[in-house]
Amino acid sequence: MNDWSILDLVVYFVGSLVALTQAIVFAHYFRLFRRDHLLLWSVSFLSLSIYLAASGSSWMLMNAMPSGHPFRLGLSCLSLVAAYTQVAALIMGTMAIWRTQRWTRVQIGQALIFASLFGLLSGLAFAFDPQYAQERHFLRVGLRYLITGLAALGMGIAIARVWPRGRLGQQLTAVALTLYGFDQLHVFSSYALIASGGSNWPWAKFTNVFSLITQLFIGYGLVIWLLENERDRAESATDAAERLRLFDQLTGLPNRSQMLGHLGQQMQHPNGAVLLLVRLDNLGNIAVATGMDGVDIALATSAERIEEVARSNGMVAARPGADHIALHGAGLGSETVSQRIAEKVLAALALPVFWNGREIALEASVGVALAPKDAVTADALQSCAEMARARAQAEGAMRYRFYAPDLDAAARSQLALQSELRTAFINNEFVLEFQPILDGWSLEICGFEALVRWQHPQRGLLAPDAFIGQLEPLGLVEALDIWVLEQACNCARKWQRPDREALTVAVNVSAYSFQRRSFPDMIHALLERTGLAAACLEIEIIESIALGHPEHAALSIDRLRDLGVRVMLDDFGTGFSSLKHLRQLPFDGLKIDHSFVVDVLIDPRDAAIVRAMLSLAHSLGLEVVAEGIETAAQLAWFQSAGCDRLQGFHFHRSMSQDAVIDLLRLGEPAVASRQMPVS
C-alpha cells in the first residue's frame, strides 16, 4: 500500500468522522426546532458517514479479500445503500425549506426505501460472476459518481438560481454543492476514460481530498443557512409581536398605545387637535342574535366605515378598546368641523350591515373632545371624549356630544360614589326601614314593605334613588338584594305573635336577582335559615322583569308559590303589557302605582282606569294594594272602590325596626283609622 493509498484511507475515515459530527449537529437542532429539513439533513450526513466508513473499509480489504467475499460484498452493499440514501435525504431536506406543504412520513419513507433498494441492487448485481467485472465496477462505482454528481450539481444550480443577497448560508451551500457535483462528474469521467482504454489524469489522485473539502463546506453552508433561517423567524416573530402590541388584530387599526402616542404629537399642532370616540352600544344584542362571528363582522365593518370617514377628513382611525373606535386629527380643533365629522360617522354607521343572510343594525354613541380646550395630554383628552360619549349614550341611540366641564364633575362624583358604595358594604352602612301596609277595610296593620336606606357618613340617610343605579356597574345588585331579604326576614320573624294574625314583609327584588335560576332555591334556604314562615314573605317584581323573560318569570313564580311565598306585581299600570302579564303569569296580587293614586280625585280618566284595574284584578282573584295614599280623601276613595290593602304617608312614614316593634307593642291604630268609608 503506497502513500497515496494511505492518504485515501485517511480521507475516507476523517470524512466519515466529520460527516458524523455534522449529523449530530443537525440532530441536535432538530430536537430544538422540530423542522423536517433538519431531520433529513441529519439522515443525509449520517448516511454519508456510513458510506465513507464502509467504502474506506472495503478499499482497505481490497487486496486481502476478493470482491465476492461475503464481508467485502456486505461492505460494498452498505456503502451503496448509504450513498444513495444520502443523496435522497439531502435533496428532500433542501426542498423541504421551499415546499409549502410538509413531506409526509410516508413520502420520506418511500424515498429512503427506494434509494436503499437501488443501492442494494447495485451492490448485488453481477456480484458472483467474474466475467462481468467491468459491469459490476460500473454499477458500484461509476453509476454512483454519476448519480451523485448530477444530483449535487442540480441542487447547487437550483439554490443558486434564487441567490438571495446577504444570505451567506445559501450562497455557500450552492457553491459547495456545485463544486461537489463537478468533482463527482469529474471522477465519473475519469472512470469512463480508464474503461475506454485511456490513462487517468495526473491530478485525479487529489479528487478525494477535494471531495472531503467540498463536503465540509456543504455542511458548514447548511448550518449557516439554518442559523440565518432561525434568525429570520425570530425577527418575523418580533415584528408580529410588535404589530400585535401596536395594532388591533381584527380591524388592523392602531391600538390605544399607538393612538395615544400619535394623538400626543397631533396635540402640538398650533390649531389644536380633535378626538372623536365612537362606541358600538348594541354589541351585546348582536352577540345574542348572531353569535361572536356577527360581533366581529359588525366591528370590522364599522371600523372600515369610520376609517373611510377619517381618511376623507385627514384624520387617523384607531381602536382603543373592545367596543370603541376613535378618529383623531391635527388642526381640526373647531367645533363646527368636529360636529360635521361626528354626523358623518353616525350616518355611516346608520347603514345596515348584511351578513349571512341577516341584517345587523348598529347603534352607536360619539363623544368629542378638543385640544387644548378640553385637555392638554392625550390620555386626558381620551377621558374627556369618553365622558362626552357616555352622556350621548344616556341621551339616546345614535347621538354625539361634546365634552363640557360639568361632565368631568359628574364623572368624579360618580366615581367617588362607587368607591363609597364598596366601603358601605364593608362597613355595613345599609339599614332597613319599614312602611306599614294596612287592611283596606279595618285599617289594621297587616304587613310592612322593606325599604333599604344608606346611612352615609357625611350625607346622612340616603334613599335608594341616590345610589341604586350605581350598584349594577359594580356587580353589587345581587349582594344588596340578598342582604335586604335576609334582614327583612329576620325582622319579620320578630314581629310575629301567637295572639294575632301573621304579618307579612314585602321586598322589592331586582331583575338581576330574580332572573337567576337559583333564586327560588336561595329563597327556600333563606327561609329555613331565618325561621320565617313562607306565607309571611312577599316578593315584589316590576313589569320589565316579566317582560324580558316571561317563560322564565312564570317558572320562578310557580316555584316561589310552591314554597308558600307570595309574588306581587309592583308599579302596575306603568308598563306596556300589563293585561297580558296578568293573564299569563301567576301573580298573587298587584300594586297600583302611586302616579294613579295621586290623580284619582283630579282626573276622571285616572279614576276610571283605577276602577277598571280593581275590577279586573278581583275578577282574576288577585289582591290589590294601593301605594302612595297621602290624604283622607284618597283613603276614602280607595276604600269605597274596594281596594284590599293601603299604604302611604297618610298612615305612617317608613320607620326603623325598633319603631316597628314599639308600634306593634302599643297596638297604635293608623292615623286615619277613624275615617269612615264613603260611597
Q: What is the 3-state secondary structure (H, E, C) of 139-165?
A: HHHHHHHHHHHHHHHHHHHHHHHHCCC
Within a domain: residue 461? no
- Does residue 577 register a pLDDT over 90? no
- 441, 394: one domain: no
Q: How many CB atoms lie within 10 A of CB 201?
A: 14
- 263, 120: one domain: no
pLDDT for 486-528, tens place per residue? 999 999 999 988 888 899 999 999 888 888 888 999 999 999 9
Question: For position 654, which CATH number holds?
Answer: 3.20.20.450
Q: How many domains would you assign to the chain?
A: 3
| Position with higher pLDDT, 522 vs 418 | 522
Closest residue by Cα to residue 390 from 259, 278, 309: 278
- Does residue 592 register a pLDDT over 70? yes
**In the prediction, which pLDDT does 322 show?**
84
**In the prediction, which pLDDT does 394 show?**
84
- 494, 385: one domain: no
**In the prediction, which pLDDT does 130 show?**
67
Average pLDDT over the chain reads 83
Instruction: List alpha helices for 34-61, DSSP H.
Output: 36-60
Strand 364-371 relative to strand 504-508: parallel, antiparallel, unpaired? unpaired
Could you give the C-alpha distances from 94 to 82, 226, 449, 474, 615, in angstroms and in order?
A: 18, 11, 83, 60, 91
Question: For position 269, which CATH number holds?
Answer: 3.30.70.270
Question: For position 214, which CATH number holds?
Answer: 1.20.1070.10
- Which residues in 573-651 belong to E strands, given as ranges? 589-592, 623-627, 645-647
**In the prediction, which pLDDT does 547 show?**
65
- Does residue 150 register a pLDDT over 90? no
Domain boundary among 199, 217, 242: 242
Within a domain: residue 677? no
Cβ atoms of residues 124 and 77 within 8 Å: yes
Which amino acid is located at 158 in the chain?
A
**In the prediction, which pLDDT does 148 show?**
80
**In the prediction, which pLDDT does 594 show?**
84
- Does residue 674 register a pLDDT over 50? no
Closest residue by Cα to residue 172 from 24, 164, 49: 164
The set of long-range contacts for 646-654, using a CB threshold of 8 Å and a minimum separation of 24, is 646/437, 646/438, 646/439, 646/440, 646/443, 647/435, 647/436, 647/437, 647/438, 647/449, 648/594, 648/597, 651/436, 651/438, 651/443, 652/435, 652/436, 653/435, 654/433, 654/434, 654/435, 654/451
pLDDT for 201-226, tens place per residue? 666 566 767 777 887 887 788 788 77
Within a domain: residue 565? yes
- Does residue 42 register a pLDDT over 60? yes
- 225, 294: one domain: no
- 232, 274: one domain: no
- Does residue 58 register a pLDDT over 70? yes
**In the prediction, which pLDDT does 626 show?**
92
| Position with higher pLDDT, 580 vs 559 | 559
- Does residue 323 register a pLDDT over 70? yes
- 282, 235: one domain: no
Which cell numbers in the block locate residue 512? 338581576
Alpha-carbon gap, residue 388 to 375, rounded angstroms:
13
- 112, 156: one domain: yes
**In the prediction, which pLDDT does 196 show?**
65
**In the prediction, which pLDDT does 606 show?**
85
Cell numbers 475519469 correspond to what residue?
190
**In the prediction, which pLDDT does 672 show?**
42
- Does residue 677 register a pLDDT over 50? no
pLDDT band at 670 (very low <50, low <70, confident <90, very high): very low
Could you give the C-alpha distances from 579 to 208, 422, 539, 582, 620, in angstroms and in order?
A: 103, 40, 20, 5, 11
Domain boundary among 220, 242, 264: 242
Cβ atoms of residues 127 and 73 within 8 Å: yes
- 209, 277: one domain: no
Within a domain: residue 459? no
Alpha-carbon gap, residue 347 to 368, rounded angstroms:
16
- 390, 360: one domain: yes
The DSSP-derived string for 567-590 is: EEEEEETSSS-HHHHHHHS--SEE
Q: Which of 75-89, 190-204, 564-578, 595-609 has the lowest mean pLDDT?
A: 190-204
- 190, 339: one domain: no
pLDDT for 270-318, tens place per residue? 888 999 999 999 888 888 888 888 889 999 999 999 999 999 999 999 9
pLDDT for 342-401, tens place per residue? 999 999 999 988 888 888 889 999 999 998 888 899 999 999 999 999 889 888 889 999
- 262, 238: one domain: no
Within a domain: residue 123? yes
- Does residue 557 register a pLDDT over 70? yes
Within a domain: residue 323? yes
**In the prediction, which pLDDT does 199 show?**
62
The residues with which 364 forms a beta bridge, in sequence order, are 280
Answer positive or negative: Cα dihedral of 76, 78, 79, 84. Answer: positive
Which cell numbers in the block locate residue 398? 345614535
Cβ atoms of residues 384 and 369 within 8 Å: yes
**In the prediction, which pLDDT does 279 show?**
93
Sheet of strand 316-321: strand arrangement = 316-321, 324-330, 273-280, 364-371, 399-402
pLDDT for 430-454, tens place per residue? 999 999 999 998 999 999 999 999 9
Please enumerate in sequence order all residues whose Cβ is within 8 A of that of 119, keeping only pairs 6 or more positions apart, or say none.
77, 80, 81, 82, 83, 84, 85
- 264, 390: one domain: yes
**In the prediction, which pLDDT does 673 show?**
39
Which cell numbers in the block locate residue 308? 373611510
* Global pTM value: 0.54
Range of the domain at 625: 435-451+475-666
User: In 3-state terms, what secondary structure has residue 404?
Assistant: coil
Alpha-carbon gap, residue 402 to 343, rounded angstroms:
12
